[in-house]
């Protein structure tokens, strides 16, 4: 078992790849309506390589999603800088797309209009955009549903639309904000393995936010643990040296998986307990 | 090979008969409802007619369905004392449509602007609340003074009524747009104009369309009240003339015509609504 892990490590080209996303000394503060300053994130230093699949886990309300919205450019950090391919991020992140926990698809657009939107917004002609969209719709397994509206699709199918919508613009960064947490267990593991299949064909870096440690380990090259909020910061940073391609539904029974799970959980457990006690107090 | 085919046949024939059964049931239910609706009409109108015939209520004050019906026929055939019926009809209709269209357009523009801009909504918010709290009917005499007895004073009154209904809905619709959808579109590369076209307006449209029914009603109220207070044409003018001559039958007849107009308009707005939010009405198949 150990030997396979080592081989996979040696085979991995991603270790020495250039830095895609770089957060240095990033903190985020909000002013509450009561006038107090609420610190969400404090002193985050994080580098994510090109093509790296990095998960961020942490207890509820620790600022995982805030980190993501900073990288996406929805929000600006209070202190510190975010660099994308060496350039300081200002405004929207032009290289990123995001799969949200709730809906990505616009309910008033059909599947094909939803998927081709990223291209038409960039000025690609409609016929051309549709052609490209059809390829992506087929790739995520929604062929035949081009003219359907989102509310006619199941939760899992809507996530497929979201994936196609993001990937059609060939983003260098794919942000996923608890994207699969609203799905049922079976659909979820199906979507996880499809995500991996599609991702392995691209060179996109992924930031995957989740509260599910198993999901994080099964999918990622790397798992980052945040401390309990407020003022969350990075507690641990783990390389996941499991071989790829992975079978997401069965990897959970792998001895290496369990070893990693135990190791990271030891770190995460304390934070979850702190967070739980805080929520009980307030 | 024969087995699955026979299985298919037995499977397909059963739903067909079930479907037929369900259709006849639905048809029967509709017929029953229609019958009851007509029944209620007959009972009310019949009672009114009988009470008037036997002088249990004074026909001078309450008129009777038959008299009202004959009055409408007479207006159609011979015209009213104030000229042919259709001129009044057209005038009222034109005023209503004009104030509806202008009010809706202004309401959407203002709602969108204030919904998008924090500064504008802070500055103008209290003033709009204040104007909306004002009973608009008191503006009618002022509009008539400013704009005369013609159509424009009625349109102005109708606009002040419809504007606020549409405005508040457009404002709320713009405010209630899903933050994630906005962020998603921005990340996918939408500029301000594209954001409005692809996300904010379609999202607000459901709110705006639901306000059109009531705002059309208000447009009609504006036209009729304006005519009532001072005009030379229109259904409202007809009512006030009939009232001045103690002609209750005339008042009721004009009221019937008004409500028919309102019903037709309501149906048209309903069609418009269906057309614009088709994405909501498509059934899952």
Q: Per-residue pLDDT tens for A141-180?
A: 898 999 999 988 988 899 999 999 999 999 999 999 988 9
What pLDDT, on the 0 to 100 scale, is given for residue B36?
Answer: 95
Binary contact (B284, A151; C-beta < 8 A): yes
Q: What angle do CA B17, B23, B28 make, to 5 degrees?
A: 130
What pLDDT, on the 0 to 100 scale, is given for residue A282?
Answer: 66
What pLDDT, on the 0 to 100 scale, is given for residue B285?
Answer: 37
Q: What's the whole-number mean pLDDT along residues A34-56? A: 90
Cα of B198 to nearest chain A Cα, Å: 9
Q: Is the peptide bond before B275 cis (omega within 30 degrees of 0)?
A: no
CATH of residue B172: 1.10.3720.10
- % of chain B residues with pLDDT over 90: 30
Which chain B residues contact residue A152 at CB under 8 A? 282, 284-285
Residue B131 φ then ψ, to 5°? -65, -35
Q: Which of A69, A97, A107 is facing B188, going by the closest CB pair?
A: A97
Binary contact (B181, A103; C-beta < 8 A): yes
Q: How many Å apart are CA B43 and CA A229, to the nearest integer?
A: 70
End-of-domain residue from the set B25, B41, B57:
B57
What pLDDT, on the 0 to 100 scale, is given for residue B43?
Answer: 95
HSE-up of residue B114 (Cα within 13 Å, Cβ side) = 24
Q: What's the whole-number mean pLDDT along residues B12-27? A: 83
Q: What's the whole-number mean pLDDT along residues B217-239? A: 87
Co-location of B51 and B77 in the same domain? no
Co-location of B43 and B76 in the same domain? no
- % of chain B residues with pLDDT over 70: 93
Identify the domain containing residue B45 by its residue range: 2-57
The reply to whether A224 falls in a domain is yes
CATH of residue A84: 3.40.50.300
Co-location of B50 and B122 in the same domain? no
Q: What's the whole-number mean pLDDT along residues B185-203? A: 90
The reply to whether A54 falls in a domain is yes
Nearest CA in chain A to B193: A121
- Residues counted in chain A: 282
> What is the tens place of the pLDDT at every residue in A48-102?
999 999 999 988 878 888 999 999 999 999 999 999 988 888 888 989 999 998 8
Q: How many Å apart are CA B29 and CA B23, to the nearest integer?
A: 10
Could you give the residue ranges of the DSSP H alpha helices within A178-254?
Answer: 185-201, 213-219
Q: What angle do CA A170, A173, A178 make, to 5 degrees?
A: 110
The chain-wide mean pLDDT, for chain A, equals 86
- Helix (H/G/I), strand (E/B), else coil: B98: helix
The reply to whether A106 falls in a domain is no
Q: What's the whole-number mean pLDDT along residues A127-148? A: 91
Q: What's the whole-number mean pLDDT along residues B104-119? A: 91
- CB A278: neighbour CB atoms within 10 A? 15
Co-location of B257 and B158 in the same domain? yes
Q: How many domains does chain A have?
A: 1
Q: How many Å apart are CA A159 and CA A148, to the nearest integer?
A: 14
Binary contact (B188, A118; C-beta < 8 A): yes
Q: Which residue has the tokens 């917004």?
A: A121
Co-location of B224 and B277 in the same domain? yes
Residues near A179 by Cβ (< 8 Å), separated by ≥ 6? A99, A100, A101, A159, A162, A208
- Helix (H/G/I), strand (E/B), else coil: B209: helix
Q: Which residue has the tokens 């103008």?
A: B124
Identify the domain containing residue A72 by its residue range: 2-95+171-273+276-280
* Model confidence at A182: pLDDT above 90: no
Q: How many Å apart are CA A232 and CA A142, to the nearest integer?
A: 40
Which residue would you say has higher pLDDT here, B27 or B231? Answer: B27
Q: Which pair of tokens denotes residue A138? A: 């087929």
Q: How many domains does chain B have?
A: 2
Co-location of B158 and B225 in the same domain? yes
Co-location of B130 and B242 in the same domain? yes
Q: Where are the beta strands (DSSP E) in B170-241?
A: none
- C-alpha to C-alpha distances, B224 to A230, A246, B93, B153, B217, nearest whole angstrom: 61, 73, 10, 11, 11
Confidence class for position B212, pLDDT limits 50, 70, 90: confident
Confidence class for position A3, pLDDT limits 50, 70, 90: very low
* Model confidence at B270: pLDDT above 50: yes
* Model confidence at B19: pLDDT above 90: no
Co-location of B251 and B140 in the same domain? yes
């Amino acid at each position: 078992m150990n030997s396979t892990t080592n081989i996979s490590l040696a085979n991995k080209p991603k270790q020495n790849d250039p830095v895609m996303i770089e957060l240095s000394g990033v903190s985020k503060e909000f002013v509450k309506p009561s006038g107090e300053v609420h610190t969400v994130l404090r002193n985050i230093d994080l580098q994510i390589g090109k093509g790296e699949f990095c998960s961020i886990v942490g207890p509820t309300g620790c600022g995982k999603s805030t980190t993501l919205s900073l990288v996406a450019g929805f929000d600006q950090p209070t202190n510190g800088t975010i660099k994308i391919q060496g350039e300081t991020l200002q405004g929207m992140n032009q290289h990123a797309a995001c799969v949200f926990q709730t809906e990505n698809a616009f309910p008033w657009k059909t599947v094909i209009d939803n998927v081709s939107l990223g291209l038409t917004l960039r000025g690609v002609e409609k016929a051309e955009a549709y052609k490209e969209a059809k390829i992506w719709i087929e790739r995520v397994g929604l062929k035949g549903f081009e003219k359907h509206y989102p509310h006619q699709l199941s939760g899992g199918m809507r996530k497929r639309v979201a994936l196609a919508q993001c990937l059609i613009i060939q983003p260098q960064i794919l942000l996923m904000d608890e994207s699969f947490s609203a799905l049922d267990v079976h659909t979820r593991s199906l979507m996880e393995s499809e995500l991996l299949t599609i991702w392995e064909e691209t060179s996109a870096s992924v930031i995957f936010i989740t509260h599910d440690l198993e999901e994080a380990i099964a999918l990622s090259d790397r798992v980052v643990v945040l401390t309990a909020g407020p003022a969350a910061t990075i507690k641990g940073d783990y390389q996941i040296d499991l071989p790829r391609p992975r079978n997401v539904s069965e990897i959970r029974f792998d001895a290496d998986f369990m070893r990693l799970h135990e190791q990271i959980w030891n770190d995460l457990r304390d934070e979850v307990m702190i967070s739980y006690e805080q929520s009980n107090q307030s | 090979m024969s087995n699955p085919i026979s299985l298919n046949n037995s499977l397909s024939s059963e739903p067909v008969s079930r479907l037929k059964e369900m259709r006849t049931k639905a048809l029967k239910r509709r017929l029953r409802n229609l019958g009851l609706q007509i029944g209620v009409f007959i009972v009310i109108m019949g009672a009114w007619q009988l009470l008037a015939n036997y002088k249990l209520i004074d026909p001078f004050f309450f008129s009777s369905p038959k008299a009202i019906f004959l009055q409408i026929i007479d207006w159609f055939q011979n015209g009213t004392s104030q000229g042919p019926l259709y001129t009044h009809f057209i005038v009222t209709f034109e005023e209503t449509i004009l104030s509806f269209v202008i009010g809706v357009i202004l309401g959407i523009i203002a709602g969108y602007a204030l919904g998008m801009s924090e500064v504008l909504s802070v500055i103008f918010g209290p003033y709009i609340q204040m104007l909306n709290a004002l009973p608009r009917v008191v503006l009618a005499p002022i509009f008539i003074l400013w704009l005369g007895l013609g159509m424009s004073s009625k349109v102005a009154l109708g606009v002040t009524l419809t504007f606020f209904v549409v405005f508040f809905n457009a404002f709320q619709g713009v405010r209630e747009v899903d933050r994630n959808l906005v962020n998603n579109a921005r990340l996918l590369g939408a500029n301000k104009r594209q954001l409005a076209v692809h996300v904010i307006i379609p999202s607000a449209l459901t709110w705006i369309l639901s306000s059109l029914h009531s705002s059309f009603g208000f447009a009609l109220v504006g036209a009729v009240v304006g005519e009532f207070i001072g005009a030379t044409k229109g259904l409202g003018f007809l009512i006030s003339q009939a009232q001045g001559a103690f002609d209750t039958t005339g008042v009721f007849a004009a009221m019937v015509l008004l409500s028919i107009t309102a019903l037709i308009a309501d149906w048209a707005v309903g069609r418009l609504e269906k057309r614009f939010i088709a994405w909501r009405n498509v059934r899952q198949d």
